[in-house]
């Protein structure tokens, strides 16, 4: 089979190699074999290739943490050959390949209303958004939700989930095209961060957009200046959810500021819920399936590329040049 492999960590353009004659992976007793129908790229895929992610799969490994697949060998899982499923792939045998391995306990039926490319993008960003906004931040109807990198992968899902929860959503995005996309995804107002190079102007624009009370919940995949600005605009009893650091800057929280303003800085590591509280992931999966069936959430796939162009997609994603989701189809 074909598979992208990392033999030595580095940037995607140099570290990834497409091999045509890799052996199909063999599942252990806790895994099943999936034929990959589509793999949605995630920022962590780039970090994994670079060796900068919290997990470090043994070399050589195939990245691709999220997929829509078809059961090829169900083992003892109770699934049937041909079942169409979504979920996470088990590294080192990720989904940037013709076949991948997965833990069947972390797979869900692919929503029938979504085609393969959208279904591939239905798992990580929406699960992260659901657990971040509901389990961690307790977002309530009528609250204001501020979403950074709002036209990106997790950001686009957070806009839709915020609207579905009855929140007013303010987005932040880099450049007019991303602003347009975030608006189309349902954000009530969107700030172009590039239009405010001075931090105090950025903060003033956010304050105006979020209104007098400020942002009750902030969803922050960016860190750095985005986090610093969030602390200025967060509401009394607000919650800032730390989702990631795409800016490359892991901002430090000032605990004295959190104290005097009565806000919380809430960490979010969705992946840990799969082993520590799988019931939360299952509840989120049911809620998300219902929202998809109603059409309240609908993954925004901006680009579909063939397997041999995966590096192009990953490089663009790591450089902040993509919107929504980039999906690779073998």
Ligand X SMILES: NC(=O)c1ccc[n+]([C@@H]2O[C@H](COP(=O)([O-])OP(=O)(O)OC[C@H]3O[C@@H](n4cnc5c(N)ncnc54)[C@H](OP(=O)(O)O)[C@@H]3O)[C@@H](O)[C@H]2O)c1
Provide the binding-site residues for ligand X, judged by CB under 6 A: 42-44, 124-125, 128, 149, 151-155, 173-174, 178, 193, 221-222, 243-248, 268-271, 317, 320, 322
Nearer to ligand X, 101 or 157 (CB): 157
Smallest separation (angstroms) from ligand X to the CB of 138? 17
Cα angle 56-66-269, degrees, rounded to a multiple of 5: 60
Least gap, CB of 214 to ligand X (angstroms): 20
Please say which residue, 31 or 42, places its beta carbon nearer to ligand X: 42
Of 98 and 188, which has the nearer Cβ to ligand X? Answer: 188
- Least distance CB 224 / ligand X (angstroms): 7
Of the pair 72, 203, the CB lying nearest ligand X is at 203
The reply to whether omega before 267 is within 30° of 0 (cis) is no
Minimum CB distance to ligand X, residue 70 (Å): 24
By beta-carbon proximity to ligand X, the closer residue of 104 and 244 is 244
Q: Which is nearer to ligand X, 83 or 220 (CB)?
A: 220
CB-facing half-sphere around the CA of 97: CA atoms within 13 A:
33
Least Cβ distance, residue 317 to ligand X (angstroms): 6
Burial zone of 168 (CB within 10 Å; 0-12 exposed, 13-18 middle, 19+ buried): buried
Angle at 249 between CA 45 and CA 5, to 5 degrees: 15
Q: How far from each other are the two terminal CA atoms of the chain, in whole angstroms? A: 10
Longest Cα–Cα distance of the chain, Å, equals 60
Q: Which among 183, 191, 1, 4 has a CA at the least distance from the CA of 91?
A: 4
Q: Where are the alpha helices (DSSP H) in 137-295?
A: 153-164, 176-184, 199-210, 224-233, 255-261, 270-276, 278-294
Q: Measured from the CB of residue 225, what is the shortest distance to ligand X in angstroms?
A: 9
């Amino acid at each position: 089979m074909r598979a992208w492999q990392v033999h030595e960590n580095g940037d995607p353009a140099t570290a990834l190699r497409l091999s045509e004659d890799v052996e199909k992976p063999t599942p252990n007793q806790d895994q099943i074999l999936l034929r990959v129908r589509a793999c949605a790229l995630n920022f962590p895929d780039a970090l994994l290739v670079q060796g900068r992610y919290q997990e470090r799969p043994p070399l050589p490994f195939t990245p691709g943490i999220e997929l829509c697949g078809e059961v090829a060998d169900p083992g003892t899982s109770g699934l049937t050959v041909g079942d169409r499923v979504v979920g996470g792939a088990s590294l080192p045998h990720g989904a940037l390949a013709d076949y991948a391995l997965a833990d069947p306990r972390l797979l869900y039926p692919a929503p029938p209303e979504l085609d393969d490319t959208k279904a591939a993008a239905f798992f990580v960003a929406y699960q992260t958004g659901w657990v971040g906004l509901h389990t961690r931040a307790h977002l309530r109807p009528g609250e204001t939700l501020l979403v950074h990198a709002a036209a990106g992968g997790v950001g686009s899902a957070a806009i839709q989930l915020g609207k579905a929860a009855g929140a007013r959503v303010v987005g932040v995005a880099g450049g007019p095209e991303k602003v347009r996309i975030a608006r189309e995804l349902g954000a009530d107002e969107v700030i172009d961060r590039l239009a405010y190079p001075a931090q105090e102007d950025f903060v003033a624009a956010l304050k105006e957009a979020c209104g007098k009370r400020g942002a009750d919940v902030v969803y922050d995949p960016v860190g750095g200046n985005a986090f610093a600005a969030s602390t200025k605009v967060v509401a009394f009893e607000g919650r800032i959810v730390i989702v990631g650091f795409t800016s490359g800057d892991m901002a430090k929280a000032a605990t004295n500021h959190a104290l005097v303003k009565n806000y919380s800085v809430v960490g979010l590591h969705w992946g840990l819920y799969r082993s520590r509280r799988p019931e939360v992931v299952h509840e989120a999966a049911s809620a998300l399936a219902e929202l998809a069936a109603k059409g309240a959430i609908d993954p925004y796939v901006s680009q579909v590329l063939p397997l041999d162009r995966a590096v192009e997609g990953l490089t663009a994603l790591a450089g902040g040049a993509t919107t929504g989701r980039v999906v690779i189809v073998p």
